[in-house]
Amino acid sequence: MTSSGMNTMSRIIFYEDRNFQGRSYECMSDCPDMSSYLSRCHSCRVERGCFIVYDRTNYMGNQYFMRRGEYADYMSMMGMSDCIRSCRMIPMHRGSYRMRIYERENFGGQMYELMDDCDSIMDRYRMSNCMSCNVMDGHWLMYEQPHYRGRMMYMRPGEYRDFMNMGMSGMRFMSMRRITDSCY
């Protein structure tokens, strides 16, 4: 089975069982609900491109970044449940990266502009909280702990005025990383 979409630059195949066994579902674009194709997911193979997978439908819930490679038992390896319910293809970005991070919601408080990875906003900017951001260029991953650890959130170009109202209650972002060509 193949999801609709004309982007042949990206492809991920999900399998119900470990080691690429059982029913499979191939995806080449965004898929908001995979539950009708697979009842569970224990392994996957990213043949081309990068994807964010979610444990709830409609791109909600915990997120996991998947780059090209084979994940024979990635569920237990990454501490994931067996419920991958949606996935989003990350388009390749060529050009500069720019994101403004703000101390408070609605772009309030201290503002800093990033053009490269930041492994700790506390160390670099003495900033203890990031409550909103504006992604002007590129695609980014924001992490709740320094050094790109903990839960993550995929950010594509756009304004993110209040992380609390985006279903990220209790999550603080402490490090940010660009999704660059080397990820593909």
The answer to the question of residue 62 being in a domain is yes
137-173 pLDDT, tens digit per residue, is 999 999 999 999 998 999 999 999 998 877 666 678 9
**pLDDT confidence tier of residue 6, bands split at 50, 70 and 90:** very low
The percentage of residues in the chain with a pLDDT greater than 90, rounded to a whole number, is 70
20-37 pLDDT, tens digit per residue, is 999 999 999 999 999 899
Q: 35 and 65 share a domain?
A: yes
Mean pLDDT across 102-120 = 96
Q: 176 and 103 share a domain?
A: yes
pLDDT value for 167: 66
Query: Model's pTM, two decimal places?
Result: 0.87
* The total number of structural domains that make up the chain: 2
Q: Which domain holds residue 70?
A: 11-90
Q: State the average pLDDT for the chain.
A: 89
pLDDT value for 75: 60
The answer to the question of residue 143 being in a domain is yes
121-144 pLDDT, tens digit per residue, is 999 999 998 999 999 999 999 999
DSSP the chain: -B-S---TT-EEEEEEEGGGEEEEEEESS-BS--TTT-S---EEEEEESEEEEEEETTTEEEEEEE-SEEETTHHHHTT--S---EEEEE----S--EEEEEEEGGGEEEEEEESS-BS-HHHHH------EEEEEES-EEEEEETTTEEEEEEE-SEEE--GGGGT-TT----EEEE--GGG-
The answer to the question of residue 169 being in a domain is yes
Domain at 112, CATH number: 2.60.20.10
